[in-house]
Amino acid sequence: MELTLWTYEGPPHVGAMRIASSMKDIHYVLHAPQGDTYADLLFTMIERRGQRPPVTYTTFQARDLGGDTAELVKKNIKEAVERFKPKTLLVGESCTAELIQDQPGALAKGMGFDMPIVNLELPAYSKKENWGASETFYQLIRTLLKEKVSSLEKISPLRWKELGRRPKVNILGPSLLGFRCRDDVIEIQRILSEQGIDTNVVAPLGASPEDIERLIDADINICLYQEIAEASCEWLKRNFGMEYTNTIPIGIKNTIEFINEVHNKLDLPLTNKEELEHKSKLPWYSKSVDSNYLTGKRVFIFGDGTHAIAAAKIAKEELGFEVVGLGTYSREMARQLRATAKELNVEALITNNYLEVEDAMKKAAPELVLGTQMERHSAKRLGIPCSVISTPMHVQDVPARYSPQMGWEGANVIFDDWVHPLMMGLEEHLIDMFKHDFEFVDGHQSHLGNTATKTEDFINSEEKKDKNSKEGIIWTESGRAELTKVPFFVRGKVKTNTEKYAILRGIPEISDETLYDAKAYFS
């Protein structure tokens, strides 16, 4: 039994709903009690979808349990098929139905329908949402393509040459309730078509069962989100020999590497190599003089595997930040994230517990947090700027404007979204210069009039706060005065470090000099 206050991922059947809702002509009959219908609002509220998810919930009640719940399942399947006329039917159960073992998938298969039926077995007491999405996508592909396995020769990534057409790829993984998937797909298609590569099928987002059957017309697969599509790409490789890409095109370097990987796999010459770096404004914006202040900004990163790993690379290599924390809730990607963390010389945090994340965040004392909704709230409490880079997300993370994370435009969006929460370079410089003027204490003074706290009041209040440190160390007047001169957003960190230093050296009283000694010691 695990105590959870907030959870990063929903149950696995919500993952299955993400696949069903992303696609066309599919219906999902879910054996579940009425409360489970809440999941609809994830799609209609967070994503502002104008259609209900294509899901029929059997909504069995306590009084049904004594009778024949299997009959109830069949009745719902029959009604759903008649009403929605799906081309493929998904059948499964949520946590409660799993306990009563009606085996709805088997029931559906015995009802004599013509359409393909995918029986989803998603263990609700051991697996989670992303696993459920991945498994559903994989089972769906397997069901629709398994008959073609033996009859087909292995698909060569070079066959476009023999066939005398442009190379053709599938883009696999984008789904509803994924982070900015809608726009990533447009961006990646745009980039591929600039390189002379056509898109065969995008799935699950916007695909129909017929599209799934057409997957094998492509030369290679693009695995855009490993959490959702890796298992499917692996199956297509094993059974049809289809190669797939591993690079996630988030950030300039990764986008270029991605284009390289695609070209290599297809044996397509890359003719515009020099142009690529200029397709996004990120490199120049990052190089421009204003961005000097970004150097060494301490950043704490937590999210799903795909976005957290990519963010770490961009932060370090493309923006010149210092990564002081890196973690994920995607246990499936723990190994990969650990490797990235090792390269960055930070400890990897693999956890489902958002309080543990908040704790690590506090200890790392970052100047910027890149995280999920949970981290946004934690960072807000700690007074640290934050940008959301991963699900779980809120309605505000589904912006109206074109706002991808991937490709050239994605890199532009990332520059803006990560840098704006921090203060602008010149502004920071000015605050530093004027920070001791009474008009400018801890924030901005309105031109409407003087309402700022007087410097004396401010120091007095600081004195009260700092009088007794936990460890029994005394701050002398000069020490306190010096501490108040430290910019407010790093003051806590400086205080802790100085006390740590004092304990280490056995210094009972902290003076201004101790503060500078500590600063020198830790730098």
Partner 1 sequence: MSKVEFNKETGPREVFCGLTSIVWLHRRMPDAFFLVVGSRTCAHLIQSAAGVMIFAEPRFGTAILEEKDLAGLADAHEELDRVVNDLIARRPEIKTLFLVGSCPSEVIKLDLATVADKLNKRFLGQVRFVNYSGSGIETTFTQGEDGALKALIPLMESSNEEKLLLVGTLANNVEDRFKKIFRNLGISNIESFPPRQSTELPKIGKNTKVLLTQPYLSDTVRDLKHRGCEIISAPFPLGIEGSTEWFLAAAKAFKISELKVHEIISPLINRAKLALESHKEILKGKRLFLLPESQLEISLARFLHNECEMDLIEVGTPYLNKDLMKEEINLLPDNTKIVEGQHVEKQLDRVRESNPDLVVCGMGLANPLEAEGISTKWSIEMVFSPIHGIDQAADLAGLFSKPLRRNQILTTKTLVTH
Contacts with partner 1, residue ranges (CB under 8 A): 1-7, 9-11, 13-14, 33-42, 44-45, 48-52, 56-62, 65, 76, 79, 83, 94-96, 99-100, 123-126, 128, 355, 373-374, 377, 381, 394
Q: What is the DSSP letter of 421?
A: T
Q: Do residues 178 and 391 touch, judged by C-beta distance below 8 A?
A: yes
**Quick one: 1 or 289, whose CB is closer to partner 1?**
1
Q: How far is the CB of 96 from partner 1 (least distance, A)?
A: 4
Single-letter residue type at 442: D
**Quick one: 39 or 248, whose CB is closer to partner 1?**
39
Q: What is the DSSP letter of 177?
A: T
**Quick one: 186 or 382, whose CB is closer to partner 1?**
382
Angle CA 523–377–492, to nearest 5? 30
Single-letter residue type at 463: E
**Quick one: 59 or 412, whose CB is closer to partner 1?**
59
Q: How far is the CB of 488 from partner 1 (least distance, A)?
A: 21
**Quick one: 175 or 247, whose CB is closer to partner 1?**
175
Q: 305-313 and 252-266 are packed helices; what angle lies between their axes, rounded to 10 degrees?
A: 110
Give me the active site residues, please: 290
Q: How far is the CB of 107 from partner 1 (least distance, A)?
A: 16
Q: How far is the CB of 82 from partner 1 (least distance, A)?
A: 10
- Rounded Cα distance, 417 and 186, in Å: 19
Angle CA 275–280–282, to nearest 5? 130
- CA-wise closest residue to 361 among 324, 389, 392, 396: 324
- The residues, ordered by sequence, that sit 6+ positions from 196 with a Cβ below 8 Å of its Cβ are 166, 167, 268
**Quick one: 247 or 390, whose CB is closer to partner 1?**
390
Q: Do residues 418 and 387 touch, judged by C-beta distance below 8 A?
A: yes
Burial 468-506 (b: 16+ CB within 10 A, else e): ebeeebbbeeebbbbbbebeebebebbbebbbebbeeee
Q: How far is the CB of 49 from partner 1 (least distance, A)?
A: 6
Sole residue written with tokens 């009972």: 508
Q: How far is the CB of 36 from partner 1 (least distance, A)?
A: 6
